[in-house]
Structure 1
């Protein structure tokens, strides 16, 4: 009986470890005034640990020059009215499409980050405050 219990404990622990290492690292999506609308892609002025901040949202598609947009949704107010291009710290992808970020306008430069559907979190280095265009699949 002890061996059976020990084997079950090892199996549960191993399963929990695998889930913890294979699952993507997402932040909790913002709520309240900072909620990203369903079916949208949202870029936020702040990182999640700093309260997300003001944001802008789009329908799936291609956006070749993010400097043409501002953080026009109040959120918590930080970054409100600032140009999105070169100033986004985080993203929420509620679109159901994979999102591709480039560090140059009109898909020039390097593909720096792919945000899968459901991703909510900080943009990685290389694109954090350095995003200029984005496209969905």
Structure 2
């Protein structure tokens, strides 16, 4: 090792020692502050924790029932949303079928383009899952 490398290593060692000393000083300060915490403060912290536990345990039957009702409402909303999605898929399929019938019967290229644009717009209006359902229904009908 030459002189530059040796001094660089020595600098790293000194830096790490300074950091280590600072960390030790911080640990000593924390320990001192914890020890200085008055008995009254320690008791207050314990009382606060006990109070929180008591409040949780003392939730009224009414509150517990309200939480149960809230959960049931969410489940009902989810079921209703699924039914709406199924209805939306049927409605969208009916619309797309009508558009397709009109465009195929007319053999009009501008109308075909308009049909494609309308189909894309309808797909954007409904969610992705509904769109996939409609594509599947249309594919099965065209087999």
TM-score of the pair, normalised by structure 1:
0.30
Considering fraction of residues, name the structure with more strand: 1
TM-score of the pair, normalised by structure 2:
0.29
Considering fraction of residues, name the structure with more helix: 2
Please identify the structure whose Cα radius of gyration is greater. 2
